[in-house]
Amino acid sequence: MGKNQAYKAMQRARLGSSSAGPEEIEDGMTDGSFHSPEWHAARLASLKTSHTITWEEFKKKQKEDELRRDELEADKDRMMREYRAQLDAERARKLSLGKNHSASKSHKKKDRKDKDSKKRSSRKRKKRSSESSSSSSSSESSSSDDDYDDDERESRRSRSKRSKKKRKHKSRVKHSSSDSDSDENGGPVPLSKACDLRPQFVSAICGHHRNLVDRSHPLLWQKVLLSMGGAELTTEEVLKMDIPWETYMSTKLITGTHLQLLRRYDKKSESQRAALLDDDGPAYVGVFINILRDISKEETVEYVLALIDEMLTANPKRARLFHDKSLSNEDTYQPFLRWLQEGNWFIQEKSCKILTLIVSARPKGQHGLVSNGESSHSKSKISAIDAVLEGLLDWLCLQLKAPSHPNRSVPLAVNCLATLLRERFVRVSFVQSDGVKLLIPLISPASTQQSIQLLYETCLCVWLLSYYDVAIDYLATTRVMPRLVDVVKGSTKEKVVRVIVLTLRNLLPKAACGAQMIDLGLPQIVQSLKAQAWSDEDLLEALNQLEDGLKEHVKTLSSFDKYKQEVLLGHLDWYPMHKDPGFWRENITNFEENDFQILRVLITILDTSSDPTALAVACYDLSQFIQYHPAGRIIVSDLKAKDRVMKLMNHENADVTKNALLCIQRLFLGAKYASFLQS
């Protein structure tokens, strides 16, 4: 019998138990050998859970916990370094005061001691006087003595209260003077204030902005203050960050090869980076794509996007590196399209610019645009490109409708559209998504450099759309023509004038656009532009082509059609046809079309228009109709134009009054007598 069995037998004998089952021992130990096999099976079944964690999941969780611990330790170290730096600054400030500071303190202590000694001496004198008075007045009653004691206690209490108030006032004055001294000296915040405010600041941020606290870069507090103050995060500030690449490698988020490439590239000069990209550019692009795809930490994404943006800004041709054959298995578009929807404004802006350059730089095949060296028959890749372009266009149109950033969303969207609209597929998608109407309000005279650039890029988008017939038909129904003419008439910026003239040249063959250009006085504007000294030969050639096109358009367009277009639009002016007798003799019967529609519109202009030129021309045309049409007086009278013309005889404009009088003369006297009076 072993020791354990003997012990159990002794316990059973002592307790008087005859059962063979396991007993509840006070020491908490239970012998498992006494349980039956059924009991063990039930116990094992109850211990089984619904999910057993795998070894890979356990290692992944362990790596995440380790990464989180490393980040927290890094934050603690940074905070401690900042705290120590503040301590050193406070110590240096105190040491800079030197001997004068200690002398001032000793003087203050000495003055305080003198005041205390004076107070004590005055109290002693008062006590002696009170004792002498009490001895001399021993014959007084005991009640008067009690009253005197009470009065003395009250006076002491009032004196103690006054002294406390004075001490409080002195302490307040002392603190305020010390604060003003520190402000005047321009030194750091006192250490006491820093110690008081820093925990509150940290706790507030930890409580409400935990995602900002768990950052692994030295610009933590600077970024928090920037976001709280409403300042913008710049590329230069982002590139000053320190990203823990080694930590990412230890957690298998990047490989050892990626780490070596990042160490070679990160924090190097521009010339060194350019040499590395020339030697092995696709490898570095592959590293950037993997990081944007696998890592979701905001600072790391910002840093990598800033690196790519800096790389492409220095040389936009490097966008071709994203389409190298070695990256044919990589989806170079999806990471940027993802962050375009999920990131903050800095991430969205950089993703949009980079994605626009990458998409525009993809190589051209025989049957269209393809990506990463694949054949143009790869349907899956082409459909993926179409999806990327549609997603990018949707985001750009959304920025024009409801900007995410008050100042930078619209310029960014227009800038990217000026690059993307060079492709026919993008032009078709942009017109189908009803994006043309979003550009028209942006065409207006500009004064500042920023607004001039936005105007130029907007007109560039319209010029690119003018190569698509459906877009031309849509533009003909909008007010884009008056806006373009208004801008080109007053602009002195050569590139703005050039792109508008090229746009008008493309729109001229459209009959409606050509008639509208002539109505807006574009031939005279072109003559004025040709008289100016332009250095761009392309602009001079475009002006000559536009002038020739306008002349041909005037020849092909009949005079009455032009006149009809002018009247129906309500843009009446003193064009030569109004005073041309041949025009009225040849086209007088055309006024009878559609139940004298032209005459009815002229009479409506007399009622509704406030333009003196339009009113004067309308009165003159009515008088010309009376003169050249056999039944002109009867027709105009039947249309009830007499009263409306007579009201204009009292118009403040002399030209309106003159032509209204001429119309009334011909209406009352007839064409023969009215012409005699006029002569």
Please write the tens of the pLDDT for every residue from 552-603.
877 666 678 878 888 888 888 887 678 878 888 888 888 888 888 888 899 8
Cα distances (angstroms) measured from residue 557 to each of 503, 524, 554, 587: 21, 18, 5, 14
Tokens representing residue 67 in the block: 């990464």
HSE of 326, CA atoms in CB hemisphere, 13 A: 10
pLDDT of res. 443: 92
Closest CA to 219 of 294, 293, 290, 302: 302
| Cβ contacts of 487-494, under 8 Å, gap ≥ 24 | 487/443, 487/444, 487/445, 487/455, 487/459, 488/525, 488/529, 489/525, 490/445, 491/445, 493/452, 493/456, 494/534, 494/535, 494/536, 494/539
Contacts of 298 by beta carbon, 8 Å cutoff, 6+ apart: 211, 343, 344, 347
pLDDT of res. 484: 93
Return d(Cα 491, Cα 373) in angstroms, integer.
45
In a 3-state reduction of DSSP, which class is residue 368? strand
- CB count, 10 Å around CB of 259? 16
Return d(Cα 240, Cα 218) in angstroms, integer.
8
AA identity, residue 181: D
Contacts of 244 by beta carbon, 8 Å cutoff, 6+ apart: 70, 71, 74, 216
Dihedral Cα 228, 231, 237, 243, nearest 10 deg: 30
DSSP state of 576: G
Closest CA to 568 of 587, 594, 586, 588: 594
pLDDT of res. 365: 53
**How many Å separate Cα 71 from the centre of its chain?**
30
Tokens representing residue 561 in the block: 């059609």
HSE of 442, CA atoms in CB hemisphere, 13 A: 25
Please write the tens of the pLDDT for every residue from 172-211.
544 444 444 444 444 444 433 443 444 444 444 444 444 4
pLDDT of res. 142: 46
Return d(Cα 216, Cα 80) in angstroms, integer.
14
Beta bridge partners of 364: 369
Return d(Cα 247, Cα 239) in angstroms, integer.
19
pLDDT by 10-residue block (mean), the chain, 679 residues: 69 62 48 68 68 77 86 84 82 70 52 67 63 48 47 55 53 46 42 40 41 44 44 84 90 91 91 92 93 91 94 92 88 90 89 93 59 44 74 93 91 94 92 91 84 93 93 87 91 91 90 79 90 87 90 72 83 80 85 87 88 90 89 86 86 90 84 46
AA identity, residue 83: Y
Per the CB < 8 A criterion, the answer to whether 335 and 291 are in contact is no
Closest CA to 190 of 89, 49, 316: 89
